[in-house]
Each structure stands twice: as C-alpha cells, then as structure tokens.
Amino acid sequence: MYKDYFGFIEPPFSIVPSARYLYLSARHREAMGHLQAGLGDGGGFAMLTGEVGTGKTTVSKAMLASLGEHIRAGLILNPTFSESDLLEAICDEFSVAYPPQATLKQLAQAIRYYLEQNHARGIQTLLLIDEAQHLSAQVLEQLRLLTNLETDTHKLLKVLLIGQPELQKKLQTPELRQLAQRITGRYHLLPLSSHEVGEYIRFRLQVSGCDKALFSSKAVRIIARQTRGIPRLINLIGDKALQYTCYAGETTVSAALAEKACQDVLAFQAPAAGLETAETKTPGYRYAVTVLLASVLLGSGYYYYPQLSGLIGMDADKPLPVVEHRVEEEAVPQSDLMSEQFLRHSQNETEAMQTLYRLWGVQASVLEADCRLAENFPYFCEYQTGSADTLRKLNRPVVLTVKNGSAVVYPVLYALGNTQAELINNRQRIRLPLSWLEKHWQGEYRLVWFSDIRPTLKAGDQGDAVATLDQQLAAVLGERPLLTREFSPDIQHRVEAFQRWQGLTVDGVAGLHTLQVLSLIADTQAPQLKAVAEESLDAASQVSVQDYPEIGVLTRLASVIVQAAPTETTPAVTVTTPVVTDTPTGRQTDEPPLELGELDLSGLSPELAQRVQSALDEDHAADEDIFPLQSVIRLEEEQAQWHGRLPAMNLQTHMYSSSEEGRWVKINGQELHEGEWLDDQVRLLSISPRNIVVEFSGQQIEIPALYEWNG
C-alpha cells in the first residue's frame, strides 16, 4: 500500500517472523548471557519470561543459532501435553525410537539411553520449550525427573523454559518448589527502553531499504510511551502510522499521526499484566502513582532489594516506564568527564561492525555488517563473551558492548596495553584507562575471523576444503602436510590432536569452533591488536585522541547464497569486487589472477607433476558439464510472483533439531520431513531454525517458520 510511496523493498513493520528483521537489543543479548550462564556446568534448568510480544522467541531462536558444535538442541513450540505426550515429543524431536503405546517408564528409559549415548560422545543435550506456561504441574514435574539424569559434574539433559509471567507464578506453587529450586538461570525480559525503541524503528527501516528518518523524534517518543516498548505493538503502530502518512501525502510521520495510529491500534489490545495502558492513565494519575510508588519503595527498598534482585536476575533499581524519560535526562556526573566525552559522539552497532570489517580490508554494507543476518563467507562473525585476558589471547580487534548507565555504545577495540586501551569510536581513535573500560564493559564482544573452509568437515569428506585443512593443521602442529583431499583417519587424528592441544571437545570433526581456533592461530594476515605505548593522559578528561589509523584498499563484500538443483547442494558463493581507496594495503593485490593452465610444473617431481596435471584435466572436463545453479528466493520478498501459483500452505508446527532425523513440520495438517512431498506439488527440501526451503515448479523458495500462505 505505502511501499512504493516511501521506496521500501518490503513493508518494514510486518509482524510475520523474518530472520532479516531479527533485532537483538542490549536486553535481549543480556538475557542470552544470563541463560547461557545458568545452563553452564552443573545447571539443569533455566527460565526466560516476558510479556507477550517482548521478544522471548527471538532470544530462543538467537540462542539456537549461536550454539556450539558439541550441543544437540531440540525446540518444542506451543506445548499442550500430557506426561506421555511430552516424553513422546522429546523422543520425536531427538529421533529416539520407542514402541507403540509405550509406557512412561519405557519412554523415560529410551530418553535416558539417548542422553547417555550423547554424553559418551561429548555432546550436551539441550531442550527448549516455548510457551511453557501452558504445561501442567504434572508435566513440569516429569521434566524435573528427567533432569535427575546426571554424572558427578554434568546434567545429561538441560532445559530452557520460555513463557509468559504466568510461568513464574506457576513455579511459586508448593507442588513445584523442587523444580523452582533447580532453576539456576532466570531472566525476565523487559520491553525496550525509549532509546531502544528509536533504534528498533531505524533498524527495521534500514533493512527494508530506507535510510531516511521517516519518524520524527516526537513520533518515536509517543510510540515508545504508548507501546511501553513492546516490539509487536511497535510493529502494528509503525505500520498504521506509515499508512496514515501516505494517505496524508506527508514524507515524515508526525506526532499527530503517530498519536492517531496508537489510538487506533491500542483500542483493540488488551493491557499486559503489570503494565498500565495509555488510554486509561491521565498525566495527573501517572504523577500520583509515581509519588505513591516512590514513597513505598523508599520505605521497603532496603529490605526487598536482595530478594527481588536474586529472583528476576537483573537490577532491581531499573527506572519505571512512567519516569524513564527523567532518568535519561539526568546529566552524566561531572566527575566522569571521560564518560561524557566518550558517549557524546557514539556509533551504533552497525557502524562499529563496518569499521571492524574495514580493519580486515573489506567494505561491508549495512546488512552485511549485521552478524545476525549476513553470511559473508569466508568471513565469519560471532557474538562471544570474555575478559580482557580473553581479548589479549585472541589478539584481534573486536567490537565491544560498553554501557554507561542507560547508554550503550559499540566501540572497536584497536589496541590493548597493561593499563590503557585504544578504541575507535565514530571515526575517532581514543586512548583511555583500561580501568574505565573494564568498569563499563560487561564482557560481550563481536569477533570477525577468516576461514576459506566451510564448517563442518568430518570423516569421509573430500575436496579442496580438506586439502586446505591439511595445510593449516600441518602448519600449526609443525608436521608435514599429508597432501590429501580426503578426510582420512590421519587427518582425523591431527584434528583430534589439535583439539586436545587447544582444550576443545575432542571429536575429530572440524566444526565451527575448531575452525575458528585454527584460524586464530594459522591466519597470519588477520589484523591484530596494536601495542599501546603507555602515556600520561589529560588529568581532567583522562582521554587522549590519537591519529586515525590508515585503511588500505578495501574489497567489497557481496555474499550470494546459492544452491544446486534439488538432488545436489552447492556451497554458498562469495563475489568480491575491488573498491579503490587511498593506501594500497590489504589481502588483495592488483595482479591479474593466475589461470590454472598457466601453472609451471617444472619444479615438481615427475610423479607429483603428473598428479597435478591429471587433476587439472579432470577439473577442465567437469567445467564443461557443470550442474546448473539455482538461487533460493524469499517468499516474503516475491509474494506477487507466486500469488495464484504456489498452493496455500499453513505452517502449523515447526520442529527443528540438530539431528536431521528430528526435523519436521506440519503443513495443512500433514507432517513432513526433509525430502517429502506435500500433495504431490510442493517438496520440502530443508528445515532450519527460522525457516524452511521448498521446491515448486523447479524453483526453490524460502518460507519463514509458522508462516501462513494463502495461495
């Protein structure tokens, strides 16, 4: 309706789930950190709660996407199970066989055997249950009994419960007190802050292809106040506000149009528990409530603070929504002039990632700079946590998450010394005390690393990737290369030796984590942290501005994900084109690429030269009969093309598992596994945590999970 008017690629505020619009605020990432810590060694249960629309499922899907190679995960959505139904669902999710009409004892024994087998292989099993407030007390107790399966130091099964605040109340009942005591990680996800609402709106506009500030600052404040920061409501109101702006022939969403959109949307929304509605509270009423709450909190805060802080796993002195704007307006303390100067011209997360990629010699677009959305092979990006010592061992520039009160900034760590550090922030290189950084940095960072090997390589694999792995392992282990293109037992032994050396899970598989550590050691062209020549800083500000580092020739990132026709798969292809800048440095050279046929084989032994020539001849023959590649289109972006052609599909259930056998979906009431057909028209090719890929009329189509297509 308004897409062409504003020049959008697609509507920016659709409520249909899409991986491209996955926005992780600081609160979402903090939730992930708490939950991952709670599910660490020894923990059996973790719990994530939040009001409807605050992003609980977003956090769970982001956690699934960030799991290591040693974790086997299963996800159960919308459970309404009896005890036996739950155990059967767990068996189905992890492809555990069980007899027809099995008893609870038989199901539990089958699950126990599966968990023990995983543990023997060094695999941790994780079960995520969404909408867990619907589980009965009996079913929750059955889950607790399953987590009793343990070794001396580890739980064989770890469970993450995700639900609405009713789940907290349910766990406070006497019959579930044992389960409540087992929960080692809790996080109650609050709505977005006023600042985060603005960032959220800008993010969705950018992803949809618009870099303009379409919402006035007053409009953003109104939306933040009326929605209380709930992303789902922000989407509904943002969509309605753009409609009204289009009708009015305006170019910017004004405060009046935002207010009208809020009234129209919220008139049909039930108020969330514990949150006041914008329609029923007058300014005077809010003021009275604020005064009353302040009086109560002053009297009881000292007594209840430890209990509340421990219960919900977060700061109990977070500002209430009704006075949040007053907190944000408080000045930075005059004694901390460094914080004030640092935050005055801060960069957002996307700008920080673009700066980090520039240090690698590549230029990334807004979408490519988002770790959650882009696949920039051979560059990989990951969210990690650690300490200053961790960063010293990595010896790579990273993007840090730095907090000062309610403000969050994303500087790039450029240099690290014993007492001082250098950060790149908004085109400035700043030197400051390491003590200040450690005070405001909670350990979260984003790491970019380079590897021309795609995970995962294992026994039986063949090809150039195995040959590259052979060369890298030989270099770091101090051995001679095996000169093989096959993942042989000898290669597997070297992978295991490397894993033992680096303290990794020893499984002989070159997975994502193994390849990352290998890259950090073997990649000699990667940018490294600079040394800091300690100097006296300004006594007042404690900040010293340094010369901005020179950035050499940049290579443009342009990742194109393609797949072969249905019977085969082909790795993603990365296309790079040079971008000319000032200084001729970086990975790329200006020399033309050497053709394989031009290789000089005279320096090789006759036997080796003959083998190389044979391989070149085979590659040339294969090039003449290459299998045609076919791109995957996203249904959300090409709806008009498929209306009236692609049959109607209601994706009712989405079950994703690390095991291929455990993945299945229910479409139009029919359960399908990968490779199966829907009504002899649509073939299900693959299931991922956030979407599925189907084939119809020779075209591969990506559809979001739990999506409803009307045909």
Return the pLDDT at 311.
Answer: 31
Mark 590-608 as b/e (b = at least 16 C-beta within 10 Å). eeeeeeeeeeeeeeeeeee
Residues facing 552 on adjacent strands? 583
Phi-psi region of 209 (alpha: psi -120 to 50; beta: other; left: phi over 0): left
Residues 466 and 408 in one domain: no
Rounded average pLDDT over 49-72: 79
Strands (E), 552-598: 554-560, 562-564, 573-579
Upstream peptide bond of 481 is cis (omega within 30 degrees of 0): no
229 inside domain: yes
The 10s digit of each residue's pLDDT in 292-336 is: 444 444 444 433 333 333 333 334 344 434 433 333 333 334 335
Lowest mean pLDDT among 272-276, 447-451, 524-528: 272-276
622 inside domain: no
361 inside domain: yes
- Contact between residue 510 and residue 495 where contact means Cβ atoms under 8 Å apart: yes
Lowest mean pLDDT among 386-395, 496-505, 565-574: 565-574
pLDDT-based confidence at residue 291 (cuts at 50, 70, 90) = very low
Return the pLDDT at 705.
Answer: 76
CATH code of residue 56? 3.40.50.300
Residues 123 and 258 in one domain: no
Give the span between the Cα atoms of 565 and 700, in whole angstroms: 8
Return the pLDDT at 485.
Answer: 92
Res 498 pLDDT > 80: yes
Give the span between the Cα atoms of 522 and 516, in whole angstroms: 10
The total of structural domains in the chain comes to 5
CB neighbourhood size of 247 (10 A): 12
Res 544 pLDDT > 50: yes
- Which tokens sit at 20? 């491209």
Looking at per-residue confidence, does 241 or 177 come out higher? 241
Lowest mean pLDDT among 64-68, 279-283, 318-322, 560-564: 560-564
pLDDT-based confidence at residue 646 (cuts at 50, 70, 90) = very high
CA 230 to chain centre: 20
CATH code of residue 235? 1.10.8
Return the pLDDT at 414.
Answer: 93
Backbone CA torsion sign across 587, 593, 595, 598: negative
Return the pLDDT at 383.
Answer: 81
Rounded average pLDDT over 504-523: 87
Percentage of residues in the chain having pLDDT higher than 70: 71
540 inside domain: yes
Integer CA distances (angstroms), 420 to 211, 341, 415, 457, 542, in order:
36, 17, 9, 41, 10
Residue 201, C-beta contacts closer than 8 angstroms, at least 6 positions apart: 215, 220, 223, 234, 238
Residues 534 and 656 in one domain: no
Residues 472 and 423 in one domain: no
Dihedral pair phi/psi, residue 572, rounded to 5°: -60, 150
Residue 230, C-beta contacts closer than 8 angstroms, at least 6 positions apart: 51, 52, 53, 54, 191, 192, 272
Return the pLDDT at 274.
Answer: 45
Residues 184 and 199 in one domain: no
Res 584 pLDDT > 50: no
Give the span between the Cα atoms of 241 and 228, in whole angstroms: 17
- Which tokens sit at 521? 């050691």
pLDDT-based confidence at residue 608 (cuts at 50, 70, 90) = low
Residues 129 and 164 in one domain: yes
Strands (E), 42-182: 45-50, 71-76, 124-129, 157-163
Residues facing 678 on adjacent strands? 682
Residues 655 and 703 in one domain: yes
- Contact between residue 406 and residue 329 where contact means Cβ atoms under 8 Å apart: no
Give the span between the Cα atoms of 522 and 407, in whole angstroms: 38
pTM to 2 decimal places: 0.40
Looking at per-residue confidence, does 320 or 130 come out higher? 130
Residue 317, C-beta contacts closer than 8 angstroms, at least 6 positions apart: 305
H, E, C per residue of 345-398: CCCCHHHHHHHHHHHCCEECCCCCCCCCCCCECCEEEEEEECCHHHHHHHCCCE
Which of residues 214, 234, 267 is at a domain's end? 267
- Contact between residue 98 and residue 81 where contact means Cβ atoms under 8 Å apart: no
CATH code of residue 394? 3.90.70.10
Mark 304-324 as b/e (b = at least 16 C-beta within 10 Å). eeeeeeeebbbeeeeeebbeb
Give the span between the Cα atoms of 564 and 544, in whole angstroms: 54
- Contact between residue 405 and residue 398 where contact means Cβ atoms under 8 Å apart: no
Integer CA distances (angstroms), 257 to 13, 308, 632, in order:
16, 40, 38
pLDDT-based confidence at residue 1 (cuts at 50, 70, 90) = low
Give the span between the Cα atoms of 637 and 631, in whole angstroms: 14
- Which tokens sit at 62? 């982001």
Return the pLDDT at 620.
Answer: 46
Return the pLDDT at 317.
Answer: 41
Residues 32 and 144 in one domain: yes
Return the pLDDT at 135.
Answer: 87
3-state secondary structure of 132: helix
Which of residues 221, 243, 267 is at a domain's end? 267
Q: Residue 120 is part of which domain span?
A: 26-189
Most confident by average pLDDT, 52-66, 138-152, 507-521, 554-568: 507-521
Return the pLDDT at 599.
Answer: 52
Dihedral pair phi/psi, residue 604, rounded to 5°: -95, 160
Return the pLDDT at 219.
Answer: 92
- Terminus-to-terminus CA distance in the chain, angstroms? 19
Look up residue 185 and give its DSSP letter: E
3-state secondary structure of 48: strand
Percentage of residues in the chain having pLDDT higher than 90: 13
Looking at per-residue confidence, does 306 or 163 come out higher? 163
556 inside domain: no
3-state secondary structure of 189: strand
Give the span between the Cα atoms of 659 and 72, in whole angstroms: 7
Return the pLDDT at 473.
Answer: 93
Residues 146 and 229 in one domain: no
Return the pLDDT at 575.
Answer: 33
Question: Element (H or E) spanning 659, and its range?
Answer: none
Give the span between the Cα atoms of 505 and 499, in whole angstroms: 6
Residue 204, C-beta contacts closer than 8 angstroms, at least 6 positions apart: 12, 13, 21, 23, 235, 238
Lowest mean pLDDT among 148-157, 200-209, 558-567, 640-649: 558-567
Strands (E), 584-690: 629-634, 649-655, 664-667, 670-672, 677-678, 682-687
CATH code of residue 477? 1.10.101.10
Looking at per-residue confidence, does 558 or 27 come out higher? 27
pLDDT-based confidence at residue 50 (cuts at 50, 70, 90) = confident
Return the pLDDT at 486.
Answer: 94
Residues 36 and 171 in one domain: yes
Rounded average pLDDT over 510-527: 87
The 10s digit of each residue's pLDDT in 192-241 is: 888 889 989 998 898 888 888 889 999 999 999 998 888 889 999 999 99
Res 91 pLDDT > 70: yes
554 inside domain: no
Res 251 pLDDT > 50: yes
Res 145 pLDDT > 90: no
Residues 4 and 79 in one domain: no
Lowest mean pLDDT among 132-146, 264-278, 528-542, 607-621: 607-621
Average pLDDT of the chain, as a whole number: 75
Which of residues 168, 189, 210 is at a domain's end? 189
591 inside domain: no
The C-alpha torsion from 261 through 267 and 270 to 273, rounded to 10°, is 70
Return the pLDDT at 562.
Answer: 27
- Contact between residue 89 and residue 95 where contact means Cβ atoms under 8 Å apart: no
Residues 144 and 230 in one domain: no
Res 609 pLDDT > 50: yes
- Contact between residue 104 and residue 145 where contact means Cβ atoms under 8 Å apart: no
77 inside domain: yes
The 10s digit of each residue's pLDDT in 617-633 is: 554 444 443 334 457 88
H, E, C per residue of 55-73: CHHHHHHHHHHCCCCCEEE
